Structures are given as structure tokens and as C-alpha cells.
Structure 1
Amino acid sequence: MARVICIMGESGAGKTTSLRNLDPKTTFIIDADRKGLSWRGWKKQYNNANRNYVQTSNVAAIEKCMERIDSQDLQNIKVMVIDTLNAIMIDDEMARMKEKNFDKWQDLATCIWRIVSKFHLMRDDLTVVCIAHTQTDRDDAGFYFTHIKTSGKKLDKIVLESKFTTVLLAKALDGNYVFETYANHSTAKSPMGCFEKEIPNDIKFVIEELIKYENDEE
């Protein structure tokens, strides 16, 4: 069973930048946004020649990448990243623009749920990191709540966060970039006692701490 993490946050909150300290030799990034990465020299680290980077939001292509990473072909890969889930949802929705029936939203929900549900079935030594944009809803009383932004009410009912053990909320606070590991007004969550409420914006640190926690190490 793979370790599965979600990083959610607004644009500019440091979600992609948090990948900067991962080892390119053991990391595979699926760039569904097709926007590239956000640190100096990333093109030397992640490219086709290194067999660790692909730009696609196509569900079938992503599933094929997942199969390769899960098989003997890419056993060196220990971290798989999808950046972002929203790009997959939006591109699938755009491809179905001319469809007017309910099946359009049923199919969209099914394809995203199918991908996310497969993460836990991947090999034990793999960590899957999904990046997602957030939506903050406010009611008439002023109560607000932040969660993963989805396309269609069907996906809202499914609650994508339920498929992740760890959901980190990326935030930019006074020029500092941090992860919030739990919150009263968001779906951020993490294993009990694993993290402080705010931790460094560094997914390598997060993975190392989760491994220690799982193995009951200091």
C-alpha cells in the first residue's frame, strides 16, 4: 500500500515549490498543468531523457504512467507527483463540453475517483503526492471552510480528501511559505501526533517524518 499525500492551496501558495528538495533520481513528476516547475535549474533535473517527467492531463496516459511506476520498469522511483488534480478535471470537462446529459458529470467523477483510488494499491515503497487547488466557501454567518476545488457536484459529494491520509494546506504568511497540517476551517489533516500545526514547506521533510512515524522512530 503506497503512502498518499495531498498538497492543496491557492495559486502562489508554494505547492509546486515544495517539491524542490526531492531527489530527481527517485522522483517522477506528472505535470498535468503543463506549466513547468518553479525553481532554478529544474529542466536539468526533470526531463524526458531522465525518464522522470511528463506533461499530460489525459487520464489514460496518467494511468499508463502509474502502471510503469508500479511495475519493474521504474522501480527506482520512490515518489510520484501529480501536479495538479484540477488540470485533469478541467481538461476532461472541456473535452465533454458538447455533452449535455448527466452522464458527463458521472463520467468525470468516475475517471478522477478511479485514478485516486488506485494510489493506495501501488507498491509499498512508493509515496504518491497529489497537488490540488482550493476553494473557500463562506456562508451568510461568515463561517468559511477551505477544501479541494472540484468540477461538478458529484465530485463534491465524493469528497476527494477522504482518499488521503495526509492533506496539507499550503500557505504564504508574511513572506514565509508553510504547510498547515490541520485546521478548524479546512480539510487539512495528518496522522495524530506526527506534526506540529505549521511545518516547513518541504515535501521531502514531510515524507521523511511520515516514514519515521510509521516505523515508530524518533
Structure 2
Amino acid sequence: MAITTFVLGNSGEGKSFSLKHLDPKLVGVINVNNKPLPFRGGHDFKKIATDNAERIKQVLLQSQAPIIVIDDFQYVMGNEYIGGANQKFTGDAAFQRYNIMAYNAWSILNTAIREVPDNKRVYILSHIQEDNGRSKIKTIGKMLDDKIVLEGMVTMVLQTTVQDSQHFFMTQNNGFNTVKSPEDMFQSELIPNDLNAVDDAICDYYGIAKNPNQQPEQA
């Protein structure tokens, strides 16, 4: 079972930028919208561009990288919704359309959690929306939200915030979001938006080798 983490936030708050200090040799990026990473050296990361749920699940299961990042997860749902905007759906067909979109989003997360091998880390980057004064992962309609709390499927949810022109991750819930992290994993409610430091903390907390393929040094 992979350790799956949500990284949530508004556009421009540093979700994609947080990959900057990760070792590209250890990372596979599923780039949903096929956009360049916003920092020098971003082209060094191995990327597969697709918004197709079945293809994403296939990559999750086949990737040899110990760290897998899905960038802009909400567009798996958003692209599918907009892509059918010029079609007319009525009655059962309209209902079924939302069912399919909800299933596709859920099945990606379910694959990451249940089927990706142990000790791998999957980071799912996604936008947020406001719902009754509380920020949460952005979805399409109520079909998914009424049945499943996506954040409830994972142990850790980080959210971006900008304070005094500096970018951070929130690690603890403030009553107005869905942020959460394991007890004592982080020493502060705000940490730099550095996904490599987050990955180090996860590996240390759970006793995971950062690179399981690395040969031990000879004495």
C-alpha cells in the first residue's frame, strides 16, 4: 500500500513548484494538463501527459519510480466535464455521466492507495474549492462529494498558503480546511512548500528507504 498524500491549494500558490528539490531520478510525474514545471530543471523530470483515468492507473501500477506525482488531479474530472459540454445529456444519461466522472476520480485514488506497491509515495496535487466556509479538494458536482470524502481516504493532506510573500504548506487543521498529518511528523503548523522535505519526513516517520533501489555503501 503506497503512502498517498494530497497537496491542495489555489493556482499559483506553489503546488507544482514544491517539486523543485526532489531528485528527478526518483520521481515520475503524471502531468494531467501537459504543462511545464515552473522552475529551472523541470524538464529533467520524467513525465507522462494524460488525463485519461485508465491510463493514469496503468502508469501508477507500472512506474518503477519510488515517488509518483499526479499534477493537477482536478483536471481529470474537469477536462472530462468540459469535453462533453457540447453534447446534450438528459435523464439517465446525464446522471450516468456524473457517475462515470466520480468513479474515474475515485478509482485513481483507490489504485494509488490499495494497489501501488508498499513504501512508494504518491503525491496528488489538486485545486481547492470553498464549501460552506471550508476549503476542500475541488471536484465536479455533488455526485462524488455526497458519497465519498476523498480526503478521508488518505492519512495526510497538506494545503498551500502564502504569508508575507512566502509560500508554505499547512500541516494541521485550522477548522476551515481538510488539512491533516500524522502526530509529530512535523514540528510546525507551517512548513516550507518543499515536497522533498515532506518526503524525507514521511520516509523517516515510517522507516522507508528514500531510494529502495540504491545499493548500500561498502565499508
Shorter-chain TM-score: which interval? Answer: 0.7 to 0.9
For 2:212, the equivalent position in structure 1 comes to none
CA distance in structure 2 between the aligned counterparts of 1:191 and 1:41, rounded to whole angstroms:
31
State which of 156, 159, 166 in structure 1 corresponds to 2:149.
159
State which of 171, 193, 201 in structure 2 corresponds to 1:201.
193
CA distance in structure 2 between the aligned counterparts of 1:203 and 1:215, rounded to whole angstroms:
18
Deviations 1:2-31 (A, max 9, x none): 111110000111000001111111100011
CA distance in structure 1 between the aligned counterparts of 2:70 and 2:156, rounded to whole angstroms:
15
Is the 1:33–1:84 Cα contact (8 Å) retained in structure 2?
A: yes
For 1:41, the equivalent position in structure 2 comes to 41
Q: Once superposed, which parts of structure 1, at least 4 consecutive aligned residues long, lie more than 6 Å away?
A: none
Pairwise CA RMSD: 1.5
> When the two structures are superposed, what TM-score results if normalisation uses the length of structure 2?
0.86
CA distance in structure 2 between the aligned counterparts of 1:114 and 1:207, rounded to whole angstroms:
24
In structure 2, list runs of 5 or more residues that go unmatched.
Answer: 209-219
For 1:111, the equivalent position in structure 2 comes to 104
C-alpha displacement at 1:125, in angstroms? 2.4
Q: How does 1:1-218 map to 2 (within 5 A)?
A: 1-43=1-43, 45-46=44-45, 52-69=46-63, 74=64, 77-97=65-85, 98=87, 99-100=89-90, 101-120=94-113, 121-138=115-132, 144-157=133-146, 158-183=148-173, 184-195=175-186, 196-215=188-207
SS of match in other structure, 2:205: helix
C-alpha displacement at 1:67, in angstroms? 2.4
CA distance in structure 2 between the aligned counterparts of 1:33 and 1:166, rounded to whole angstroms:
24
Deviations 1:64-112 (A, max 9, x none): 212211xxxx2xx110000111110111212333233210111110111
CA distance in structure 1 between the aligned counterparts of 2:84 and 2:103, rounded to whole angstroms:
14
CA distance in structure 1 between the aligned counterparts of 2:82 and 2:205, rounded to whole angstroms:
41
CA distance in structure 2 between the aligned counterparts of 1:14 and 1:86, rounded to whole angstroms:
16
Counterpart residue identity of residue 37, structure 1: L
CA distance in structure 2 between the aligned counterparts of 1:137 and 1:155, rounded to whole angstroms:
14
In structure 1, list runs of 5 or more residues that go unmatched.
Answer: 47-51, 139-143
Counterpart residue identity of residue 103, structure 2: T
Count of aligned positions: 199
> When the two structures are superposed, what TM-score results if normalisation uses the length of structure 1?
0.87
- Further displaced range: 21-30 or 52-61: 52-61
